[in-house]
A = this chain, B = another copy of it.
């Protein structure tokens, strides 16, 4: 049967009235998580898959909305009936992370202590915090154990963290285009993006909501920097090269196609993404380093995860999180005699490849989920 879209979906809200304590020690008295589900939870509650999002995505993983049929989920090519993560067999959950800007409690929401938006006062989040909040959602949905937790990039860090913190609640972790920790260069790119936002006069120390503005200049620059790191040098050369839009102008308008592309991406992003959420998410990326708690020993950090089965995938042209980083994860898992499959896929698009419909990558994901489906069948 031809793969189809899950069609029209509806976001739901889960409200949690117990306080949430962040890794930083700060807490919020209550919170909400916005989520979507696709497919049906089986009677044994054994077919649930959590899909974790990366930097700029959300709970809207697949399908469209009744009132906006153009708003396709960010991983619609992966999730749906007959797709690699087949919603005819799995109950798939997408969730907007805590601190996000697509409905879950975050900087745009009122701080109960002041009645005004949290802004930059929203507690700094970590991957650990997100996973702990997702565990509450799992409780809320009555899911004791996920058939799989899956993500790419920062999403994959959450899958890893699930395996470390809640190994008894995860059968499989799919860790795609990821790293056990950011390098100095990765942190450097995040820091430049943050500085662009924070030094934008419209940022107002993170309390721009009250001023009726957004730090659009900073967000644009931040997104442009990010975009460069998501694409491979080769694919940029192939897509844009040194092509000009309309001849040499000897000025600061848009001359090269790559400039036009980046400006467009920056502009679009600045229109919908919250600046405080961007800061929070880059910090969560920077902080993630499970080995740190074990004196830098990644194998020791992953020891609790050894009972979880792993699929680790990397892409040859990913220079943000290169295959060598994924191999570190594989080596640490292997040292714990964990069951781990690893694929290094020769693909041109760099880090962004994890979002694309690469046939070898999708065939691999499909085969892996086929095998999982066997094990969670009633």
Contacts and interface: CB of A to CB of B under 8 A. Distances in A.
A71 B242 CA distance: 38
A289 B242 contact: yes
Interface stretch (A44-52, A150-158, A217-225): A217-225
A259 interface: yes
B236 A191 contact: no
Given A195-B220, A221-B196, A263-B195, A258 B187 contact: yes
A199 B258 CA distance: 18
A76 to B, nearest CB: 28
Interface stretch (A34-42, A177-185, A300-308, A351-359): A177-185
A210 interface: no
Nearest to A255: B286
Given A123-B250, A201-B201, A250-B24, A191 B237 contact: no
A124 interface: yes
A192 interface: yes
A52 to B, nearest CB: 21
A262 interface: yes
A237 B188 contact: no
A228 B189 contact: yes
A125 B228 CA distance: 26
Given A201-B201, A250-B24, A250-B123, A259 B181 contact: no
Nearest to A280: B252
Nearest to A125: B250
A248 interface: yes
Interface residues of A, number: 56
A184 B124 contact: no
Given A196-B196, A220-B195, A266-B195, A236 B183 contact: yes
Contacts of A185: 228, 231, 233, 236-237
**Best-surrounded residue of A23, A198, A242, A255 (most CB of chain B within 10 A):** A242
Contacts of A299: none
Interface in A210-248: 217, 220-221, 224-225, 227-228, 231, 233, 236-237, 239-242, 248
A187 B237 contact: no
Given A184-B237, A262-B188, A194 B252 contact: yes
Contacts of A191: 224, 256, 258-259, 262-263
Contacts of A342: none
Contacts of A181: 242
Interface of A: 22-24, 26, 120, 123-124, 181-185, 187-189, 191-192, 194-196, 198-201, 217, 220-221, 224-225, 227-228, 231, 233, 236-237, 239-242, 248, 250-252, 255-256, 258-259, 262-263, 266, 279, 283, 286-287, 289, 292
Given A23-B250, A187-B259, 17 more contacts: A184-B233, A185-B236, A188-B224, A188-B228, A188-B259, A191-B259, A191-B263, A192-B221, A192-B225, A195-B220, A195-B224, A195-B266, A199-B217, A199-B221, A201-B201, A242-B292, A252-B283
